[in-house]
Amino acid sequence: MTGETAIKELQRSRNSTDVRVPSEYARQQLIERRETMKKYELPQLPYGYSALEPHYSARLLELHHRKHHAAYVTGANATLEKLAAAREQRNFEAINQLQKNLAFHVSGHVLHSLFWLNMSPKGGGQPAGQLTTAIQESFGSFDALKSQLTEAALNVQGSGWGAVAWEPVGQRLVVEQVYDHQGNIGNGTVPLLVLDMWEHAYYLQYQNVKGDWVTAFWKVVNWEDVAQRFQKVRTLDLALYAV
């Protein structure tokens, strides 16, 4: 069935006695279309579970990836199904919770996917090239950035993340505190480097000594990955100003 036919079928269903529910034919077409749409998937790690030891144990990494990250992927896909059902039934009684769930799970999936790539067995040290220049312009020095991100991460209230992001309106790097999975800088920033401060990210190895986990993280940061991301986003234009 063409898109135009589906639209006409939906319009006919809206004019029927039950205006809240599409016809069975239109419903089936929407279900088939939904099934062909891309689903969120758990990414493979670019290294083995023991590759980051001793800074990040194999047991902790496997649990974090296979259990916690996988749960966000499952949650995101399940929430999309529930939202689709709500649209089909014209029943939005649970819309507030569903929208929160979608933000929570999709953001959790995105941040974890970035987190794995932000680490490397050959990581640590300091960045180079244009990323270093941008850090100096935005923070004054690498040490200043490191100190700010460390403190932001350690002082997240409850569960969350520390992040270095590109803010395209001001054309600068910023440090964000992310509560749960949503940041507090504002819409438009693009995360480049993220540090997971949820308890499940470190407790099995570092228990309640969060400072030791943050110190270990700096030893595995994949600056090459961060630099590549910076190059991709530095020309991002949100087109907020009239030309």
Nearest to 227 by CA among 129, 161, 149: 129
pTM: 0.85
CA distance 56 to 119: 10
- Copy the structure tokens of residue 237: 């234009």
At the topology level, CATH places domain 129-233 in: minor pseudopilin epsh fold (3.55.40)
pLDDT band per the 50, 70, 90 thresholds, residue 40: very high
CATH architecture of 3-117: Orthogonal Bundle (1.10)
Q: Residue 82 is inside which H or E element, if any? A: helix 70-89
Nearest to 197 by CA among 183, 210, 185, 186: 210
- β-bridge partners, 167: 172
The pLDDT tens digits of the residues spanning 98-150 come to 999 999 999 999 999 999 999 999 999 999 999 999 999 999 999 999 999 99
Helix (H, G, I), strand (E, B) or coil at 46: coil
Question: What residue spans define the domains of the chain?
Answer: 3-117, 129-233
Q: Residue 191 is inside which H or E element, if any? A: strand 190-196
The pLDDT tens digits of the residues spanning 162-186 come to 999 999 999 999 999 999 887 666 6
